[in-house]
Chains A and B, each alone.
Chain A
Amino acid sequence: MSYKLELRNVSFKHGKDTILDDVNLTVPPGGVVAFGGCSGQGKSALLEICAGLLKPDSGMVLWDGADISQWSKYLLYDKRKSLGYMFQVSALITNHSVFDNIALPLRCGSDLKEAQVKKKVTRMMEELEISGIAKAFPETLSAAQLKTAALARALINDPKLLLLDEPLSGVDPVTANNIIDVLYKKWEKEGMSIVMASHSLSAWPQWQSGRFMLYDGCFAHAQESALETKVRKFKKPQENNE
């Protein structure tokens, strides 16, 4: 089971700057949408809007056809227990070990007993090859280890909708390959819907369709061959501000 995610005419402003302008997006259950774009184009903001962390200035965000702005704070918390979100900055809880960070969604959002939680977390850490850092705290980890631990936390509750913000940035090629493999296998097995913001869209050859570029607050459908041309045509951020 996975969520159908829809964005209808979503606009978002930061101060006077329009970050997203009338964006429409539909991710069918089990579908994958990956989008790129220059820094500051609103990729992270779009993902946060999808998760209900930011409220759009206009438009609607629908999960399985239900407008999430109509939900109470507590209903949204309940629904988010089926959501996986990987932040660009990893956002691991600093006074928790890696193991406790990964176990957190299960301990606070499921009925699993502690023994089952330990078993599930250990298996996930083995899959992502981070068993060695189970007892480490976030401040002692490298960027790649932080990203991998954050991905493990996002995947641990078998999410129906997975939102990934730059999952490969700052990650070495070996770890990146492992992350791609694990994500692809999880998606094939569980069929969750995925929305991903990434600078390196070419790193995901399995998900050729459903690729977009975010440019001037709007989506432009981008074929692999057209991507680089589009990127070259981008204005610099300071020109946009002017």
Chain B
Amino acid sequence: MSSKVIISARMLGNKLPGLWLWRMLMSIGGLLFDTVYAAVRRGRSSNLSLMSQVNRQILYTGVEAFWLVGMIAFLCGSAIILQAMLNMPKLGVSEYFGKILVIVVMGELGPFITSLVVVGRSGSALATYIGTMRVSKEISALEVMGIDPLQFLVLPALVGIVSSIVCLNVYFITIAVFGGLIVAKFTVDVPFGIFFAKILDALTFKDIIFSFLKSVVFGFIVALVSSHCGLCVRNIRMVPVAAIQAVVGAAFLTILFNLFLSFGYYVL
């Protein structure tokens, strides 16, 4: 029943020209449904193959992005805190320093920048990888072995990318705060104790939950959009196109859902 609804919605999207966003949302919604269904009915399939695919995805997406995300986090954290330290006293709002840092770094930059880094590195790579597998008949080979490609390729990518983005988000926030701490110490000479006290005072459980929720949603978007673009490849000329579509589609949807989730933060 649900799959019929999704197929009908997809067909509606295909018949309305220009509704790229609608089509993309319907496609990744359908892919999510199919992947979850494939995961539920996994049955006898070996955990060994699934886990090795998940580990590989975490290695490419999370571990190999470690230095890049760390560097970006340090630079972003330093710049934000430098700006805040220098400008907030002029505006007379120095007491909100901790809250600003929590909102900007934890609520916005952490989940958003880590997901953009993952889109650029792993989203395009995943779309290219799955697209190339499609062209070289590796996906057909999986199908004739009785292995569902959604279970073998999309599910591990989903698990790997979501868990990588969640971990990278925590890592980003930590490094950004430490970057800010160093800048605060050496430029404006704010003591470590006061710096941490202001941040901890401003931090609420809701901030942590929303930061986590954002990184999970962005992980789903990156994995599903990239996999969808890869699976749509039909010939070798479409492989680079799939990579471009994956980056553009995932980045756009990330920005869109970031807005919805930020709105949700203030409504709830």
Which A residues between 159 and 173 are near B, CB-CB below 8 angstroms? 163
List, in ascending order, chain A residues with CB within 8 A of B45's CB: 108-109
List, in ascending order, chain A residues with CB within 8 A of B138's CB: 91-94
Which B residues between 102 and 144 are near A, CB-CB below 8 angstroms? 132-133, 136-138, 140-144
List, in ascending order, chain A residues with CB within 8 A of B143's CB: 53, 77, 80
A87 within 8 A of partner (CB): yes
Known A-B contacts A104-B49, A108-B49, A110-B44; A77 and B140 likewise in contact (beta carbons under 8 Å): no
A127 within 8 A of partner (CB): no
* Bound Cα distance A108, B146 (Å): 8
List, in ascending order, chain B residues with CB within 8 A of A13's CB: none
Known A-B contacts A95-B56, A107-B49, A108-B152; A89 and B137 likewise in contact (beta carbons under 8 Å): yes
Binary B-proximity of A140-182 (CB < 8 A = 1, otherwise 0): 0000000000000100010000010000000000000000000
List, in ascending order, chain B residues with CB within 8 A of A53's CB: 140, 143-144
Binary B-proximity of A72-116 (CB < 8 A = 1, otherwise 0): 011001111101010101011111000000001101111100100
Known A-B contacts A74-B41, A95-B56; A107 and B48 likewise in contact (beta carbons under 8 Å): yes
List, in ascending order, chain A residues with CB within 8 A of B136's CB: 89, 91, 94
Binary A-proximity of B59-83 (CB < 8 A = 1, otherwise 0): 0000000000000000000000000
* Bound Cα distance A114, B140 (Å): 25
List, in ascending order, chain B residues with CB within 8 A of A107's CB: 46, 48-49
Classify the secondary structure of B's interface with A.
Answer: helix
* Bound Cα distance A118, B238 (Å): 38
Number of A residues with CB within 8 Å of any CB on chain B: 30
Known A-B contacts A89-B137, A95-B56, A109-B44; A51 and B49 likewise in contact (beta carbons under 8 Å): no
A48 within 8 A of partner (CB): yes
- Interface contact B137-A80, CB-CB below 8 Å: no
List, in ascending order, chain A residues with CB within 8 A of B159's CB: none
Considering the complex, give the chain A residue whose CB is closest to the CB of B135: A89
Binary B-proximity of A26-61 (CB < 8 A = 1, otherwise 0): 000000000000000000000010010100000000
- Interface contact B145-A109, CB-CB below 8 Å: yes
List, in ascending order, chain B residues with CB within 8 A of A91's CB: 136-138, 140-141
B207 within 8 A of partner (CB): no
- Interface contact B144-A104, CB-CB below 8 Å: no
* Bound Cα distance A53, B140 (Å): 7
* Bound Cα distance A195, B148 (Å): 24
- Interface contact B147-A77, CB-CB below 8 Å: yes
Shortest C-beta distance, A160 to chain B (Å), equals 12
* Bound Cα distance A114, B48 (Å): 9
* Bound Cα distance A12, B157 (Å): 35
List, in ascending order, chain A residues with CB within 8 A of B56's CB: 95
Known A-B contacts A53-B140, A89-B137, A92-B138; A105 and B48 likewise in contact (beta carbons under 8 Å): no
Known A-B contacts A74-B41, A107-B46, A110-B44; A80 and B140 likewise in contact (beta carbons under 8 Å): no
Considering the complex, give the chain A residue whose CB is closest to the CB of B148: A77
- Interface contact A108-B137, CB-CB below 8 Å: no
- The residue among B44, B142, B146, B148 with the most chain A CB atoms within 10 A of its own CB is B146
Additional A-B contact list (4), CB under 8 Å, known A81-B146, A83-B146, A85-B145: A48-B140, A105-B147, A108-B45, A108-B147
Q: 21 A–B contact pairs at CB < 8 A? A: A53-B140, A77-B143, A77-B147, A80-B146, A81-B145, A83-B145, A85-B144, A91-B137, A91-B138, A91-B141, A93-B133, A94-B138, A104-B145, A105-B145, A108-B46, A108-B145, A108-B152, A109-B45, A114-B48, A153-B141, A153-B145
Closest 7 CB pairs of A and B: A81-B146, A91-B141, A85-B144, A107-B46, A80-B146, A91-B137, A105-B145
